[in-house]
Amino acid sequence: MVEAERGVWLLRHDGQQTVAAVDGSGAKLTVEIRRPGADPLLLAVEVTDARRAKIAAPARAGNDTAPVTMRSPIPGRVVKLLVKSDDVVTAGQTVIVLEAMKMENELRAPRAGRVTSVRCAEGMAVEAGQDLVTIV
């Protein structure tokens, strides 16, 4: 769940909450997620619909080679899994297709790298925020 007010988003998932500072207006925003004991995570977010937001491309504070875990942005079902462990992917390549409310949503690699783990399978039901694929 996301609550937004005056440049600050409160992100809640599984009883945990994170504060994110938001910079920008309109459809394109930069979200800075502050995590205790870790570097801030900067995300470029493009709001495509009033009911959902699409993570466009992560911008890392310091390390572009850190592992990236792709998570399900919505609850749904995996209809296509287009990668396996050790596959090399390019930035923007479709990795997974999720179906939710009879619509297909393509999840694209946020950066180029190698798939180190796949935690889903075709036909599997997934929850919002569930880990799907890790890229290094």
DSSP 20-58: EEEEEETTEEEEEE--TTS--EEEEEEEEETTEEEEEEE
pLDDT above 80 (res 113): yes
pLDDT over 90, % of the chain: 38
Give the residue, 104 or 53, on which the prediction is more confident.
Answer: 104
Question: In angstroms, rounded to a whole number, what is the distance separating the alpha carbons of residues 134 and 121?
Answer: 14
Query: How many domains are contained in the chain?
Result: 2
Same domain, 106 and 51: no
Same domain, 55 and 101: no
Same domain, 34 and 57: yes
Question: Where among 62, 89, 106 does a domain terminate?
Answer: 62
Domain span at residue 86 reads 67-136
**Structure-block tokens of residue 103:** 């619509």
Question: In angstroms, rounded to a whole number, what is the distance separating the alpha carbons of residues 44 and 40?
Answer: 13
Question: Where among 62, 90, 110 does a domain terminate?
Answer: 62
Return the CATH number at 108: 2.40.50.100
Question: How confident is the model over 37-95, as pLDDT tens digits?
Answer: 777 666 666 655 544 444 444 444 445 678 899 999 889 999 999 999 999 999 889 99
Give the residue, 21 or 81, on which the prediction is more confident.
Answer: 81
Same domain, 20 and 48: yes
Confidence (pTM): 0.55
